[in-house]
Structures are given as C-alpha cells and as structure tokens.
C-alpha cells in the first residue's frame, strides 16, 4: 500500500471525512495546480489510481496538421509516437509528470488540500451539531476570551458567552461543565457552537433529563422563568390524574430537584401547578404568599392581586423577585396591593366615580387631564378645572359641594399601588 493511500486512509479515519470526498479534494487540488502552471486552456484529467495508490494526470491534445496552440494541439507525427492509429482531428492523451509541477505549484496544491479538508471537517461538525440545538452538552473549560469562555467539546469548541453564564458563577480552566446548545452557525472560516447556562430552556432540559415523567410526556413543562443563579419558577401540568406533577418533579425526599439545584449552583426553584384559569395560575405562581382577592383585566392582561398586610413582603420577594418571576411565567402584568391599601384605593375610586357623575363628565376625561384623586380636584384652581373638556363654572360648584358632602377633600391617596422597582412587575411572556 502506497504512502499516499496510507495518508488518505488515516486522514479519513482521524478526521471523519468521507474517503471518496477526500480523494476528490486531492484530485481537484492537483488539477488547480496544473491549471495555475500551464493555463486554464490545458485539457487535463486527474484521477487517483487505487491499484498503484497514486495521483495520475493525463493531458489531452487535438491532432492537427499545423499547430496554432501548443497547449491544446499536437502534430500528427508526434501523436503517432503515442498511438500509431491516431488520425487528424482525434484527441490523444498522454501522462503528465506531476513532479514537474514545481515547488510553488506543489505548495499551492497542498494549501488547497488543507483548506478543503478543513471545509469538509467543518461541514461534518455543522451537520453533527445543527440537529442538537436544545440538547444538553458537556465540555471542558479551555480558555477565556473577550466574549466568554471557550469549551472543548472534543472535535470542536463551543462558546459560552458572558450573557449566557450564571451570574457570579466562578469557572476555571479544566472544569467540566454542562450547558444548553442554543445556536449553531457556519461562516466561511468555521462552525460556531454557542451554549448557555442561564437560558430558561436549560432548566426545562434539566427537568426532562432528571424526571422520567417529563421525558415521557406524562408531566409537561408549561413555562419557565429564571433569575439565573438565584431563583426560578417552573409551571407543570399532567393530564393523568394519578400523577402528581409537583411530586414527580421533586422526587423522593427531593432527590430529583436537588440534582437540578446543584447543577445550577444552588438556584432556588419553585414548582407551581399550571392552570388555564389565569387567576388560579397567578395564585399558584405568586405562592408561597396568600392571596385574598384577584381582579382580572382580560383586555390589558393586567392582574390586581390583593394580599394580607403581613404577606406583602412575601408576595413581592427580595427586590421584587417573586412577583417579577410570576409575571414572566404567566405573561401578564401583576400589581400587588395590601388589603388596607386596596381599601383606600377602592374608596378613592368610588369617590372619583361620584365626582364624575356629578359633573356629567366621563371619568376617563379627568384621568386624561391628570386628576386621579378627589384631593387633586379639590386643590386645583378653578381656571385649571375649566380646561377640562365639558367643564363649566356651575359644574365646578357642584363638584365642590359633592366633595364637602363626601368629606373627601382631605384624602391624599396615591394612584400608584406599589413601587415600580420593588413590587410592580411588568415583564411580558415566557422566555
């Protein structure tokens, strides 16, 4: 077996490149080198001789009586030296010594072969990983660059970008880590594999791996929201009444959920029951806080949630985390009020309704002009009130009479239910 044939077989085995494709690449490289040295008009045929284990090049020329192009034509006398039966107009082929290509041509052929091998290898890598998007893969931390950590996957590398890492997670070279394959794209130079440890779907994939009921579809993950490294909420459901979806995900003595928590570096995970009833779903999502009342605005997809005064901190969570994750999970905006605060606001709204009724002006008109409390109307100068559409001096007098009767002039209730940063959660949709 020749040295070239041995090299082809070894490269095909080590790189996983199809042998036929590798031979075709080699033939093309030699063809390009011949064309570079002798010109594109030279008619050649390049083949790999399996028996002899070598590349063979044959040049073809047309037999003519008088040569006008030495590259593509040959005289009858010279042609008969190769084939005694040749006639004018025939094509005659004869071997070309590829050793005559020279150092530059040989180097060019080598570069073409190397590049084609790289392209073939990148195609194999792309085909291998493009269908694995959404799978958990494992790699060894190799190095850090300006975009994130580079993981060694064996035959290729993956990028774990900074924004896809778990905040405050400390990785070092040599660590073996798992991540979710989220993207595979190929450019002219290489195939780029991108992974994530902070993506919500990574948590869902971990449940699928650790919980057999999720893997076989008995328990379904309906939604995931994460504050990576700190806390997450996972909504689950099951059509089988004999299966407790929460219990299945937790496992005996918490064995299943603990495996996931450890993988996510201690991230706290709340498992909640999904429900098609948005109010019940929200109640489950805001757990462990107790909810006394929920108002649903279907059009605006807003929920007003009322909790006991001593449950407000629990409902909101640290830095608003609990309610924000709940809002992400269900895809609605959530406003949380204490019972006492809601009572004040309810009374204020009732007073505003009465004022609007007395003035015979829609309540929305008052709100549009910035008057959201009875106190704001009572304190406003008459000329400012007259700027309200439909307002008259007589109506202003009637409004002040109504305010005095209702004894609401001293009310100073604010229209905002909760502090935006700590309580109100407005993120929309599951990630």
Highest-confidence segment of 2-16, 185-199, 219-233: 219-233
Q: What percent of the chain has pLDDT over 70?
A: 87
Range in 108-112, 162-166, 291-295 with the lowest mean pLDDT = 108-112
**Other residues' Cβ atoms within 10 Å of the Cβ of residue 178:** 16
Highest-confidence segment of 31-40, 71-80, 320-329, 358-367: 320-329
- More confident: 58 or 263: 263
pLDDT at 11 over 60: yes
Which DSSP symbol is given to 166? Answer: P
pLDDT of residue 431: 39
Confidence of residue 381 (pLDDT cuts 50, 70, 90): confident
- More confident: 68 or 252: 252
- More confident: 136 or 410: 136
At CA 287, angle to CA 282 and CA 290, rounded to 5? Answer: 95
The CA–CA distances, whole Å, from 55 to 6, 47, 108, 110, 214 equal: 13, 6, 16, 14, 56
**Bond before 288 cis per omega within 30 degrees:** yes
Confidence of residue 23 (pLDDT cuts 50, 70, 90): confident
Summary mean pLDDT of the chain: 83
pLDDT of residue 186: 81
Model confidence pLDDT, tens digit, residues 165-176: 999 889 999 999
pLDDT at 385 over 90: no
pLDDT at 1 over 80: no
Q: How many CA atoms lie within 13 A of 270 on its CB side?
A: 23
- More confident: 117 or 294: 294
pLDDT of residue 427: 41
**Backbone φ and ψ of 167, nearest 5°:** -50, 140
- More confident: 52 or 171: 171
Q: Which two tokens stand for residue 199?
A: 């993506």
**Backbone φ and ψ of 350, nearest 5°:** -65, -40
pLDDT of residue 112: 64
pLDDT of residue 94: 81
Q: CA-based Rg of the chain, rounded to a whole angstrom?
A: 38
Confidence of residue 93 (pLDDT cuts 50, 70, 90): confident
Question: Pick from 95, 97, 91: which is nearest to 76 by CA?
Answer: 91
- Across the range 353-358, mean pLDDT stands at 83
- Across the range 314-342, mean pLDDT stands at 90
Question: Could you give the domains of the chain?
Answer: 3-127 (3.30.1480.10), 131-198 (2.40.50.140), 211-274 (3.30.300.20), 284-431 (3.30.300.20)
pLDDT of residue 99: 67
pLDDT at 25 over 80: no
Question: Pick from 253, 250, 269: which is nearest to 261 by CA?
Answer: 269
Positive or negative: CA dihedral 34, 35, 39, 43? positive
């Amino acid at each position: 077996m020749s040295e070239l044939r041995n090299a082809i077989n070894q490269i095909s085995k080590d790189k996983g490149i199809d042998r036929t494709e590798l031979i075709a690449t080699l033939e093309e490289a030699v063809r390009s080198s011949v064309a570079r040295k002798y010109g594109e008009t030279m008619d050649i045929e390049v083949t790999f001789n399996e028996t002899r284990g070598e590349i063979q090049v044959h040049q073809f020329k047309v037999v003519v009586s008088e040569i006008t192009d030495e590259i593509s034509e040959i005289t009858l006398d010279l042609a008969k030296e190769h084939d005694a039966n040749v006639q004018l107009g025939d094509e005659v082929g004869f071997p070309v010594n590829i050793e005559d290509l020279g150092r530059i041509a040989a180097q060019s052929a080598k570069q073409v072969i190397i590049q084609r091998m790289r392209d073939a290898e990148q195609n194999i890598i792309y085909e291998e990983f493009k269908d694995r998007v959404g799978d958990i893969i494992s790699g060894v931390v190799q190095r850090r660059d300006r975009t994130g950590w580079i993981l060694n996957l064996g035959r290729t590398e993956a990028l774990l970008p900074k924004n896809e890492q778990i905040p405050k997670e400390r990785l070092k070279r040599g660590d073996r880590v798992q991540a979710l394959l989220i993207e595979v794209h190929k450019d002219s130079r290489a195939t780029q594999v991108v992974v994530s440890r902070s993506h919500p779907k990574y948590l869902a994939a971990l449940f699928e791996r650790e919980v057999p009921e999720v893997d076989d579809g008995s328990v379904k993950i309906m939604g995931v929201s994460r504050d990576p490294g700190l806390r997450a909420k996972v909504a689950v459901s099951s059509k089988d009444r004999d299966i407790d979806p929460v219990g299945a995900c937790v496992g005996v003595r918490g064995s299943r959920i603990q495996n996931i928590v450890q993988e996510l570096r201690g991230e706290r995970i709340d498992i909640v029951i999904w429900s098609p009833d948005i109010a019940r779903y929200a109640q489950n999502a805001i757990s462990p806080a107790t909810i006394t009342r929920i108002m649903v605005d279907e059009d605006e997809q807003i929920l007003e949630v009322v909790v006991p005064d001593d449950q407000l901190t629990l409902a909101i969570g640290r830095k608003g985390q609990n309610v924000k994750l709940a809002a992400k999970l269900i895809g609605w905006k959530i406003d949380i009020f204490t019972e006492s605060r809601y009572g004040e606001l309810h009374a204020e709204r009732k007073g505003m309704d009465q004022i609007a009724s007395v003035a015979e002006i829609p309540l929305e008109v008052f709100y549009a002009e910035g008057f959201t409390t009875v106190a704001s109307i009572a304190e406003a100068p008459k000329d400012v009130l007259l700027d309200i559409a439909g307002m008259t001096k007589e109506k202003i007098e009637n409004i002040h009479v109504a305010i005095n009767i209702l004894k609401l002039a001293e009310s100073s209730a604010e229209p905002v239910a909760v502090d935006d940063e700590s309580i109100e959660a407005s993120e929309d949709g599951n990630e």
